[in-house]
Amino acid sequence: MDRCTCRLSKKIAFSGIVTLIALSSAHAFAQDESQAWLSYSDRTAHTMFPRDIRALGTSPIEQTAVEELKRNLSDAGAASRPAVAGETVLGTGAEIRKAYPHVPVPADMPPESYWMHASGSGDHKLLIIAGGDERGVLYGAFALLRSSAAGEPVDLSKTPLRSEPAMKIRWVDEWDNANGTVERGYGGRSIFFDNGHVREDLSQVNEYARLLASIGINGCNVNNVNGAAPFLTPGWLQGLKRIADTMRPWGVRLAMSVDIASPQKIGGLKTFDPLDPDVKAWWANKVNEIYAQIPDLAGFTVKADSEGQPGPASYGRSPADAANALANALAPHGGVVLYRAFVYNNHLDYNDLKADRARAAYDIFHPLDGKFAPNVIVQIKEGPIDFQALEPVSPLFAGLRETNSAMELQITQEYLGQQRHLVYIAPMWKRVLDFDLRAENRSTPVKQIIEGKTFERPLSGMIGVSDVGRDGWLGAPLAMANLYAFGRFAWNPDLTPEAIAAEWTKQTISADPQVVATVDKMLMQSWPAYVDYTGFLGTQTLTDITGSHYGPNIEASERNGWGQWHRDDAQGIGMDRTVATGTGFIGQYPPEVAKMYDSLATCPEDLLLFFHHVPWNYKLHSGKTVIQYVYDSHYKGAQEAAELGAEWATLKDKIDPALFEDERARLEYQAGHAIVWRDAIVQYFLKESGIPDAQGRAGHFPGRMEAEDARLTGYSVIDVNPWEDASRGKAVSCAEKSCSAEWTYNGQPGRYDIAVQYFDLQGGTAHFTLGINGNGIVSWAADATLPSRRPHGDNSTRYTMRGVELKPGDVLRVEGVPDGGDPAALDYIEIEPATTAPQS
């Protein structure tokens, strides 16, 4: 059967009218944000179904499905919906066939699939949700709830709805540490752990598992791939059992990261050589101990020989040796090993023009193809470097044909603005999924490889590094569209990012068509905009790659061993990865793709500098030079970021006011930070190349008045590091109780927006006041939580006072009051013609 049958994109119709989009004005706005797309608010889309609901089986998962449908009917807004008489009956295919022999349940339902069918009329309506197994029943129930958000009506009595997941492995990975912090998590502390223990209160784990189940996720690895050793000790295993028990009714199996050196670190052995008989026996015993407590453990994830984690290389053994040692221990219990291909040398020699981190995964794993045990899956990051704003697809997907493989994506936005920037990643993922690697000179899109189809692999799938926390899961409401999209793609990679965005918006924010259209447009614009202001033509995210991974820091990726190089100098930019003169990375792709990338004429230009080194005045197909593209794309990107805020503003009064205000403030911040990015990159490459911007923008800021040029009281001038993160490389910092900077306005009289660019540091809440002619007109606190404790692009922040009347001779004064470690540092003020009415 065709997997999705594409009927998922239809609304469910049951005897005529069965979908309803409730738009009543008596809103029950205050839905708990933790419910995300399952809030069942009266603003969001609803499906109607018969109100008497029961399951034929007694399993906890079927009961969960029944409870979820009942919860939907009893939640806010349900009272305003007409009730549908009759029965909704849930069960596995076998259970339904037995109880309702006349219902045409398909005989060939694979595990986790579902089938929905309606019959009867009046008070005898019967809606059947059949599952290929119990999990399928639960997925069917969630599909029913999602269905009205998904598209056109369909009559279930004529056209049953049938669907099965494309991929067997659909996991999220959490990088939660034993102490309760979350590596690269931006939504607060761990929902699983605190101070070296599993948390007493696992109610958020239960809610999280519910969200995961609703999008078909069937596994959750709860501990970080780094520092995993303690989790195999008996105390931890008891705690992990409680987590597994909490997630099990939602069909979500627990997985855990393990440290390959555990036999030595916690087992007391002298070695962790994976081929040592004592080591093998240790793993077998440990795995037996785990399964005695967690009989359905999904498996282990392993990060080895990577970024300081121990690995088989210490004993001259290969990743296959290590993976197989674990796999053999897990096999009798049905567990799998997800062995990460993120293995590379982080001490590369920058001066070696042949050195290339991008090559590592293929160089190491391709020769091992066919040597892995059947229950090993090699987990490959989607690109060859590391979750950058834009990378090509990893060639390893085509390089493993006799080995199971899965794709690792990042839902948490490590290099994509850390949830402070709106970046809907689904369009990027779609690009990866659809990319045709042309293995064996035939059509082999990545999605078909990780569905296991291309190379007929029995196990494969998608893993999303999610890193949720206690503060609103991902820490930003709109970022949840990424978690949603990840699950939907793992179920069906043929879906489109647009369709997923619409589904998510209708369930999460509102079913009002204007809201849906606006939010979807914003989501779809957000990733291209982010690429435009952070990393051009395949240079990746030009951020501090050894630190926060957040703000601009162009030199941070150069001249070190980490290999995220873009190799810029006064003459040009880009990594030569060609076969003839470069690192040869391109040769890792199947021949047709390699040929495309190797030639400047056919290499897609958005990845040009990933594959080629070119001079600054190299002409793109449009006729524009690379350096001019740098200027243009960053001005465009910052403009696009500002437009996101303008679009959101049109939704005032149409959506939950708290959500409106929360996102409004985020988008305002993002627009300001996009300017920080723009200016850093533009001024850096202007200096580097010495080639001016044909449009005269780079290096010229007509309305800008620098803090270092102001009349300063108390403030002293400082050099900002890296220099490109401040306007002209300098700022002022206050070491007194309070300091001020004054400028005299000499421009035309009129109404203006005044932006104050300051550095909002951790370790204190500085306060600022902006005044004109001795009158304070506005004050604000620098109370955001941004990375780093010294002024630079991570924390450079913009406050804008709109619609201020100015005339020549007016004195503008910013006063800064430091607090703790925050010295109220200032970069500049900028005066621009007013864009809106005066601020209230």
**Enzyme catalytic residues:** 307, 386, 414
* Ramachandran class of 387: left when φ > 0, alpha when ψ lies in -120 to 50, beta otherwise: left
Q: How far apart are CA 652 and CA 819, in angstroms?
A: 35
Please say whether the beta carbons of 593 and 601 come within 8 A: no
CA 775, distance to chain mean position in Å, is 45
Q: How far is the CB of 386 from ligand GCW (least distance, A)?
A: 4
Question: Please, which residues have CB within 8 angstroms of residue 286's CB and are 6 or more apart in sequence?
Answer: 232, 262, 267, 329
* Rounded CA separation 760/333 (Å): 52
Residue type for 807, please? K
Residue from 97, 184, 595, 654 touching ligand GCW (CB under 6 A): that is 184
Q: Which is nearer to ligand GCW, 208 or 415 (CB)?
A: 415
CA dihedral of residues 543, 544, 549, 552 (deg, nearest 10)? -40
Nearer to ligand GCW, 303 or 438 (CB): 303
Task: Retrieve residue 242's tokens.
Answer: 């409680």
Fill in the DSSP letter of residue 452: T
Q: Does 613 bind ligand GCW (CB under 6 A)?
A: no
* Inter-CA distances, 219 with 67, 144, 744, Å: 21, 22, 62
Contacts of 158 by beta carbon, 8 Å cutoff, 6+ apart: none
The 10 Å Cβ neighbour count of residue 320 is 23
Burial pattern 434-470, b for ≥16 Cβ within 10 A else e, equals ebbbbbeeeebbbbbbbbbebbebebbbbbbbbbbbb
Site for ligand GCW (CB under 6 A): which residue of 133, 207, 386, 688?
A: 386
Q: By CB under 6 A, tell whether 342 contacts ligand GCW.
A: yes
Q: Which of 33, 87, 155, 183 binds ligand GCW (CB under 6 A)?
A: 183
Dihedral (Cα; 677, 680, 681, 687), 10-degree rounding: 170
CB of 393 to ligand GCW, least distance (A): 17
Contact between 560 and ligand GCW (CB under 6 A)? no
Q: Give the residues across from 598 on adjacent strands.
A: none
Instruction: Identify which of residues 526 and 543 has a Cβ nearer to ligand GCW in the complex.
Output: 543
Distance CA 702, CA 705 (A): 9
Q: Is 303 in the site for ligand GCW (CB under 6 A)?
A: yes
226-255 residues near ligand GCW, rule: CB under 6 A: 226
| 154, 169, 225, 446: residue in contact with ligand GCW (rule CB under 6 A) | 225
CB of 253 to ligand GCW, least distance (A): 21
What distance in Å separates the CA atoms of residue 148 and residue 238, rounded to the nearest whole number?
41
Q: Closer CB to ligand GCW, residue 301 or residue 404?
A: 301
342 or 768: CB nearest ligand GCW: 342
Instruction: Tell me the two tokens of residue 172.
Output: 């999220």
**Site size for ligand GCW, by CB under 6 A?**
11
CB of 64 to ligand GCW, least distance (A): 32
The owner of tokens 């998590």 is 185
Q: CB of 190: closest distance to ligand GCW in angstroms?
A: 14
Taking CB positions, which residue lies at the least distance from ligand GCW? 386
Spatial CA neighbour of 126 closest among 66, 187, 51, 183: 51
Task: Choose between 225 and 676: whose C-beta lies nearer to ligand GCW.
Answer: 225
Q: Please report the DSSP string for 77-113 in residue order.
A: TGGGSPPEEEEEEEEEHHHHHHH-TTS---TTPPTT-
CB 194 within 8 A of CB 485: no
**Smallest separation, CB 183 to ligand GCW (Å):** 5
Q: How far is the CB of 207 from ligand GCW (least distance, A)?
A: 25
Q: Which residues contact 119 (CB under 8 A, 6 or more apart)?
A: 103, 125, 126, 128, 157
For residues 174 and 520, which CB has a smaller minimum distance to ligand GCW in the complex?
174
Alpha-carbon gap, residue 615 to 154, rounded angstroms: 57
Which residues are registered as beta bridge partners of 614? 573
- What's the closest the beta carbon of residue 309 comes to ligand GCW, in angstroms? 8
Shortest separation between residue 361's beta carbon and ligand GCW, angstroms: 12
Q: How far apart, in whole angstroms, are the C-alpha atoms of residue 678 and residue 345? A: 32
Shorter beta-carbon distance to ligand GCW: residue 205 or 225: 225
Nearest approach, Cβ of residue 303 and ligand GCW (Å): 5
Instruction: Name the nearest CA neighbour of 29 among 41, 17, 12.
Output: 41
Which residue number, 91 or 417, has a Cβ lying nearer to ligand GCW?
A: 417
Whole-number Cα distances in Å, 327 to 335, 459, 516: 8, 13, 46
- CB nearer ligand GCW, residue 39 or residue 301: 301
Q: Which is nearer to ligand GCW, 59 or 388 (CB)?
A: 388
Q: Which of residues 250 and 339 has its CB atom nearest to ligand GCW in the complex?
A: 339
The Cα 515–Cα 521 span in angstroms is 10
CB of 549 to ligand GCW, least distance (A): 6
Residue at 90: amino acid letter: L
- What does the block give as tokens for 330? 């897990």
CB of 465 to ligand GCW, least distance (A): 7
Q: How far is the CB of 790 from ligand GCW (least distance, A)?
A: 21
The answer to whether 128 and 116 are in contact (CB under 8 A) is yes
As a whole number of angstroms, the distance between CA 603 and CA 615 comes to 16
C-alpha 216/C-alpha 780 separation (Å) is: 44
Pick between residue 541 and residue 796 the one whose CB is nearest to ligand GCW. 541
Among 114, 300, 362, 387, binds ligand GCW (CB under 6 A): 387
Q: Which of residues 409-428 bind ligand GCW (CB under 6 A)?
A: 414
SS3 566: coil
Please report, as a single letter, which amino acid is at residue 579.
V
Binder to ligand GCW among 37, 100, 115, 175 (CB under 6 A)? 175
Decide: helix, strand or coil at residue 652: coil
- Within 48-67, the residues that bind ligand GCW by CB under 6 A are none
> What sign for the dihedral angle of Cα 194, 195, 198, 201?
negative
- Measured between alpha carbons, how far is 409 from 382 in angstroms, rounded to an integer? 6
CB 806 within 8 A of CB 731: no
Binding site for ligand GCW (CB under 6 A): 175, 183-184, 225-226, 303, 307, 342, 386-387, 414
